[in-house]
Structure 1
Amino acid sequence: MTNPEKENGRYDLHMHSTSSDGMNTPSELVGLAAGRGLAGIALTDHDTVAGVGEAAEAAARAGLDFVPGVEISTRAGSRDIHMLGYFFDPADARLRQRLAGLRDVRDVRNDRILERLRELGVDITLAEVKDRGGRPLQPGESVGRPHMADVLVRKGYAVDLRDAFDKYLAEGAAAYVSPPRVSPVEAAAWIREAGGVPVLAHPGLYGDDALVRQVLAEAKPAGIEVRHPDHDPAAEKRYRRLAAEYGLLTTAGSDYHGIRQGKVFHGELGGYTVEETRVAALRAAASAPKSG
């Protein structure tokens, strides 16, 4: 019996591994994708390409197409904005140096969040966060708020991951901190300079379509992530119209982070996919001559 996902060439273009804030190793993600009949995946860890090599090797063994990816943390207006990058050279020294700088900013952010938590009477340490449930942070990897949420739940300060974010870690919550970051324009330029193609991640999460339009106009990404677990049908329809208005490619991804406290975060791997022709269009956009 044939697998329709494999036959139709479906790709999940957004997921995270243990190299940032996911629960599965890059190889494990490839195994999950292969088991679910996907034709290919992109690994898009936060501000790092530490897992790309392992994922690429595992994908080659499994017969899956692999797209090198990254999700870069930026700031525009009063919002954290994420810019996805695809088909860049993961060995590009300048990009790696720039991403290392972003991880330094993350370290500052993490210290400030922990300081605010202590002021609120919440006693968790950076060592506990970096331990990541027995898998200590490796060189080139990044640590994020989901790791803090795990510790908050484990120590009884929150019921589950969502409760930890709602009380302490989400934008606007009691311990939330966002230090100065690069702009979406800079992030998009970094991706292009490394030979890749930028795509605006999950615009529905920003709660400000005027800001989304501003980012599209200024950063000029090649695409926009339309299908995402946190986009309802109305949002998906709205962003498809926006993509048509700006002449953008549309992408999809599960934003899979694995299972925490028995719950999938954000979506199930392979649940949000695009066809192979869309991936080919992204690849062509990456290889097109860069202007400016």
Structure 2
Amino acid sequence: MQGTREEARYDLHTHSCVSDGMNTPEENVRLAKEKGLTGLAVTDHDTVAGIASALAEGEKAGIHVIPGVEISTQAGGKDIHVLGYYLNYEDFALLERLAGLRATRDARNEQIIRKLQGLGLSITLQEVIDGLGRSLRPDESLGRPHIADALVRKGYVRDLRDAFDRYLAEGKPGYAAQPRISPQQAMEWIREAGGAPVIAHPGLYGDDDLVRTIIEAGQPAGIEVYHSDHGPAEEQRYLAIADEYHLIPTGGSDYHGVRQGVVFHGDLGSCYVTGETVERIRQVAQQLRG
């Protein structure tokens, strides 16, 4: 039994090891079950490779798995992320487009490694890949947390947060950015794949005027109000923006698993929405599919 729509709890922002999370998609589903969630969305960076296995595990565990993605974009000189829900994860055009984004991500990773080497750090991309402890599939995506893990293993930093604070965060000496698509284009891709687009963690961008510009240009279905890095003030601001633009207020933990004993960004299920919110998102996607 999932209970009534009001009692249901869904974490709409989770990552697995097919991008930069630590757990397999199946492990995240089982963890959601342990935490008493009704469901979760699988939203890996620029890939949908973990959705099929998560759906299969959800069937076994009685957990509602929502097919999703988190697409990397740029606007106003900032990295902006766009979430997509209930999309057709087997859509050929979407798969081709995401493959192109992963190629851009790969080029960025190589640039980061070169910058770190230029700072005197002995690190290679192969060492980052070897740290996975398994082969990297073509449809998987390496991210900065993987590079941070390698820096920890080599003793250059204390932990993941130290790696970002010293080298990998935007504005730090190891940070690199490649040209990316716009948030509006990502939203169009999601809609064309039958999904509902949502602006991810707007509080992390530090520019609400830019958030408004993105909303007006891209016409998303929702905005992520509840997030592990949003405090009460941010939640109130983005609830007001959601109301102003008639957007669905969504939420999720942005769970990436446990690295060096620390949960990053937040624990699975620590931010969630009700079944009513999920139904509103599903209806938007259903309307797009006709």
Could you tell which deviates more after superposition, 196-205 or 134-143? 134-143
Structure 1 unaligned residues grouped into runs of 5+: none
Q: Give 2:172's aligned residue.
A: 173
Does structure 2 retain, via aligned residues, the 8 Å contact 1:129–1:151?
yes
Is it true that 1:185 corresponds to 2:184 in the alignment? yes
Size of the aligned set, in residue pairs, is 290
Structure 2 unaligned residues grouped into runs of 5+: none
Which amino acid counterpart does residue 125 of structure 1 have in structure 2? T
Q: Give 1:130's aligned residue.
A: 129
CA separation in 1, counterparts of 2:135 and 2:259?
A: 17
Deviation digits for residues 23-62 of structure 1 (CA, Å, limit 9, x no counterpart): 0000000000001111111000000000000000000110
Equivalences for 1:62-77 in 2 at 5 Å?
Answer: 62-77=61-76
Does structure 2 retain, via aligned residues, the 8 Å contact 1:16–1:45?
yes
CA separation in 2, counterparts of 1:15 and 1:5?
A: 23
Q: Which runs of 4+ in 1 moved over 3 A?
A: 2-7
Deviation digits for residues 242-277 of structure 1 (CA, Å, limit 9, x no counterpart): 100111000010000000010000000011010001
Deviation digits for residues 87-125 of structure 1 (CA, Å, limit 9, x no counterpart): 010000000000000000001100111010111001111
CA separation in 2, counterparts of 1:81 and 1:131?
A: 29
- 1:139 is displaced (CA, Å) by 2.4
- 1:66 is displaced (CA, Å) by 1.1
Is it true that 1:206 corresponds to 2:199 in the alignment? no
Which amino acid counterpart does residue 122 of structure 2 have in structure 1? D
SS across alignment from 2:179: coil
Q: Give 2:58's aligned residue.
A: 59
CA separation in 1, counterparts of 2:6 and 2:74?
A: 39
CA separation in 1, counterparts of 2:50 and 2:68?
A: 10
SS across alignment from 1:134: coil
Does structure 2 retain, via aligned residues, the 8 Å contact 1:47–1:70?
yes
- 1:137 is displaced (CA, Å) by 1.3
CA separation in 1, counterparts of 2:254 and 2:169?
A: 17
Change beyond 3 A, Cα 1:196–1:106: same
Q: Give 2:228's aligned residue.
A: 229
- 1:138 is displaced (CA, Å) by 1.6
Which amino acid counterpart does residue 197 of structure 1 have in structure 2? A
CA separation in 1, counterparts of 2:288 and 2:18?
A: 31
- 1:290 is displaced (CA, Å) by 7.6
- 1:6 is displaced (CA, Å) by 9.6
CA separation in 2, counterparts of 1:38 and 1:7?
A: 13
Q: Give 2:215's aligned residue.
A: 216
Does structure 2 retain, via aligned residues, the 8 Å contact 1:3–1:37?
no
Change beyond 3 A, Cα 1:50–1:132: farther
CA separation in 1, counterparts of 2:3 and 2:169?
A: 38
Does structure 1 retain, via aligned residues, the 8 Å contact 2:69–2:83?
yes
- Aligned residues: CA RMSD: 1.7
Does structure 2 retain, via aligned residues, the 8 Å contact 1:47–1:72?
yes
CA separation in 2, counterparts of 1:4 and 1:188?
A: 32
CA separation in 1, counterparts of 2:6 and 2:281?
A: 20
Q: Percent identity?
A: 57
CA separation in 2, counterparts of 1:56 and 1:13?
A: 14
Q: Give 2:239's aligned residue.
A: 240
- 1:4 is displaced (CA, Å) by 8.4
Deviation digits for residues 156-197 of structure 1 (CA, Å, limit 9, x no counterpart): 111110110011100111110111000000000000000000
Deviation digits for residues 52-96 of structure 1 (CA, Å, limit 9, x no counterpart): 000000001101111000000000011000000000100000000
Which amino acid counterpart does residue 150 of structure 1 have in structure 2? D
